[in-house]
Amino acid sequence: MLNLLETIRADGAALDLSPRRYGKVSACDGTMIEVTGLSLPVGSLCTIGHGHARSHTAEVIGFRNGRTLMSLLGDAVLLRPGAFVHPFGRPGALPVGPSFLGRAVDGTGQPIDGRDAVAARAWWPSGGERSGALERSSVEQPFVTGIRAIDATCTMGVGQRMGIVAGSGVGKSVLIDMIAQGAKADVVVLGLIGERAREVSDFVARHMRGETARRTALVAVPADHAPNLRLRGAMLATSLAEYYRAQGLKVLLVLDSLTRVAHAAREIGLLLGENGSARGYPPSALATITKLVERAGNSATSGGSITGIYSVLADGDDHNDPVVDTARAILDGHIVLSREIAQNGRYPAIDVSASLSRVMEDVAGEQHRKAARDLRGLVARYEANRDLVLMGAYQQGRDADIDRAMAMHKQVEAFLGQQRGERTDFDQTVGHLLAMTGHGQ
């Protein structure tokens, strides 16, 4: 025993001789359990033993009648009444650090890439560090995505929060992948929340190799995981981005998808007894995505930035869905993907008439903005009069604007379309836009 104590002292490790706190499982309802005899703050993690080699992990989500409410991070198989519950880790904090670059982890920071555990050097508040409104500096520099349709008509800025809104199967994940590969940023943090496991393995294969991996951190929680683990994954990805921003780095945060985060928050809210108000979403679910988005932006203190790109799934192609409406209100712009454009074979299927960037006025030149408005007008006039032209109800020469839109349609479509591995320089994109619309003369 003395030799053991001497070894611990020589290694510089702290010997904790305080008694271990524990509680016992008293009730289980699906993935939510009630624990007696253990008072812990919300966000704490616990292990639950059941007499076998494996153990459950749960997170504290609330309190009721003197009992602690926890949500399992897995299923309830083999869970039994009276099982011992032990707290571990740091309540309300998530592991962060440079060692996450080049790694793929789950919502708890554990590796999913088959390598050793990530050595976290610091801890970050899971809810972020709240700062004053004036600490967020203005968006003044353009953020280059390499996508012509975005850089030309919805120019983004460094520190902007942009949403990609679309129904299922229209190409959100492909567009996000193109942006993540071609964007200019010091660090890229990818949060794949509630997506298919196949997409996770594909992202790892594409982004976690070579030079790209050295600047990329991937947090993935597939759709079959517990709701609080999905929510924890979104918070870990955002916390990592905040940590890198605090080091003065320019960070690209990609969260796919914000809707799955809202679904996870809705499940937890309903478990706690909240009433669904907006199409089944309790107020806490919509507040969760608002708080998550507000954590991105520029930092006046460190000089770093978080440019956030959030995919938003429009359930049933309904763009008035509560999550879509909430995201559109809080974000600094939105890119709308059209199923009709995708069916016509043009990718990315960006509807430039319905898309906008609220910071384009601050980051794009005057001639660029005029050319972008002209291009939007060409697309809008073509779509509004296409049926009349096809039916023969319109005679060429009656309206010069319509004639120009019809004549330039193929040229505009070729400009807006782009192959998956293709990346275009920003100056080249703007020059092509000016030349095509006649504003470069």
**What pLDDT was estimated at residue 11?**
45
Separation of first and last alpha carbons in the chain? 86
Calpha distance 199→234 (Å, rounded):
17
**What pLDDT was estimated at residue 2?**
56
Structure-block tokens of residue 115? 């390598």
**What pLDDT was estimated at residue 77?**
81
Q: What class has domain 17-87?
A: mainly beta
Calpha distance 360→424 (Å, rounded):
19
Decide if 304 contacts 137 (C-beta within 8 A): no
Q: Are strands 297-298 and 305-313 parallel, antiparallel or unpaired?
A: antiparallel
Decide if 44 contacts 89 (C-beta within 8 A): yes
Decide if 337 contacts 166 (C-beta within 8 A): yes
Domain 93-364 classified CATH 1.10.8.60?
no
Calpha distance 81→155 (Å, rounded):
57
Q: Are strands 305-313 and 250-256 parallel, antiparallel or unpaired?
A: parallel
Decide if 362 contacts 160 (C-beta within 8 A): no
Calpha distance 193→310 (Å, rounded):
11
- Three-state DSSP class for residue 130: coil
Domain 368-437 classified CATH 1.20.1270.330?
yes
**What pLDDT was estimated at residue 309?**
95
- Three-state DSSP class for residue 433: helix
Decide if 418 contacts 348 (C-beta within 8 A): yes
Could you list the pLDDT tens digit for every one of the 441 residues in the chain? 555 455 545 444 444 555 678 899 999 887 789 999 888 888 888 999 865 656 888 999 888 888 999 988 888 888 888 889 999 888 888 999 999 998 999 988 889 888 888 988 889 988 887 777 777 888 889 999 999 999 999 999 999 999 999 888 888 888 988 888 878 889 999 999 988 877 778 777 777 777 778 889 999 998 888 888 899 999 999 999 999 999 999 999 999 889 999 999 998 888 888 887 767 788 888 889 999 999 999 998 889 999 999 999 887 777 778 888 888 889 999 999 998 888 888 889 999 999 999 999 999 999 999 999 999 999 999 888 887 877 877 778 788 888 898 889 899 999 999 988 788 899 999 999 999 988 765
- Three-state DSSP class for residue 48: strand
**Domain locations along the chain:** 17-87, 93-364, 368-437
